Amino acid sequence: MRILIVDDNIALQEVLTEVISDAGHSVRNAMSTDGALSIIESFRPDTIVLDADMQDGRGLMLLDRMQSNEPPIETPVVVIRSWNRQIPQDSPVVRACIKKPFTVQDVLESIENAHAAEPGPRETPAAAAVERAEADQDMPRDALAQKKVLYGKSYIMFRSGPEEIYEMISMFSDEGCDVLLVTARKKKAAAKRFGNNVTVMSMMVRTFGGIFNIYGLGTMIDEIENFIEDNDKPVVAFDDLGQIINRNGMNSTLTAIHHLVTKKYGKDMTFLVSVDPKGFTNKDKEILLNHMIYHDPTGV
């Protein structure tokens, strides 16, 4: 299908473009209502994805201008909105609403269903489920988009320290995700940083004689899969994959990560992996990049 994205937030626009293009759709972008109307005329989109928050909250003006056009533009519209922004209930072109933060599944299902739906905004199931729980919270909604990160995809960072992945963990946690931090550091230190907002699984366990050792990969996989099964919006973060590699070997660890990231869980979820690039060959990096997106926290 031909999809027009109307959004003046460049970071969010790029995330949406990537997700929709990866699904096989043809995508064009507009950053204003005037630009959107011009592209609608030439591109003839099958569906419009509109950010209601664009132009300081005036994005919904596009709906009025579509209807006042001669003849009226009746292209189905999927509206992306903040939790506190109301959508017109009587618009004949609005077929679905996606509430921030959204998942890959939210976006793609809304686009696929836009033509089948009757006029009138319909919240995606995932968004409707959290609407009531978040109604009284003023949560930041664009932090992940500014980082060009989207829930439902997995990311790897080649970094020598954990600070960047800790920042991402905090952002996902603030967005209401269920985060499991897998760390080779002591559990108490990690728990002190994030409090009760993040579940910490320390790979470091005390053995006989007070010597610390690292969990085996089988135990790690079992605990991670149980966490994913037990939580609605799981995020699993490894703050130092190198430590696990040192204990279990490169090939075994990469095989375990491949198993975890590619397994079908029946729900959206995200893996975050940070690893020191020293000692990694290009082939090793390619294995990780086959199923995860490289993320540069500096944006360089």
SS3 78: strand
pLDDT given at position 237: 95
pLDDT given at position 210: 44
- In a shared domain, residues 172 and 77: no
- In a shared domain, residues 136 and 247: no
Give pLDDT tens digits for 224-282: 999 999 999 999 999 989 888 887 888 888 888 888 998 889 998 999 999 988 877 87
CATH number at residue 30: 3.40.50.2300
pLDDT given at position 142: 55
**Is 228 within a domain?**
yes
If we measure between CA atoms, which residue out of 43, 115, 104, 28 comes closest to residue 78?
115
CATH number at residue 185: 3.40.50.300
- What is each CA distance from 16 to 12, 103, 145, 240, 294, in whole angstroms? 6, 10, 9, 29, 17
Give pLDDT tens digits for 108-154: 889 988 876 555 555 554 444 444 334 333 333 456 766 778 888 89
- In a shared domain, residues 40 and 168: no
Q: Say whether pLDDT at 300 is over 50.
A: no
Distance of CA 74 to the CA centre of its chain: 30
Residue with the larger pLDDT of the pair 4 and 215? 4
- In a shared domain, residues 227 and 131: no
Structurally, how many domains does the chain consist of?
2
- In a shared domain, residues 221 and 196: yes
**Is 300 within a domain?**
no
Asked if 21 and 27 count as a contact pair (C-beta separation under 8 A), the reply is yes
What are the CB-based long-range contacts (under 8 Å, 24+) for 212-219? Answer: 213/247, 214/184, 214/243, 214/244, 214/246, 214/247, 214/248, 216/248, 217/244, 217/248, 217/252, 217/253, 217/256
Give pLDDT tens digits for 71-119: 999 999 999 887 667 777 778 899 888 887 677 778 888 998 887 655 5
- In a shared domain, residues 168 and 278: yes
Helix and strand totals (H; E) in the chain: 13, 13
pLDDT given at position 228: 95
- In a shared domain, residues 92 and 25: yes
- In a shared domain, residues 191 and 126: no
Q: Which two tokens stand for residue 89?
A: 């209930």
Asked if 27 and 52 count as a contact pair (C-beta separation under 8 A), the reply is no
pLDDT given at position 141: 45
**Is 253 within a domain?**
yes
Neighbours of 205 (CB within 10 A): 12
- The domain of 162 spans 151-294
191: CB partners within 8 A, 6+ apart: 198, 200
- In a shared domain, residues 134 and 190: no
Asked if 219 and 228 count as a contact pair (C-beta separation under 8 A), the reply is no
Query: Domain ends where: 142, 167, 190?
Result: 142
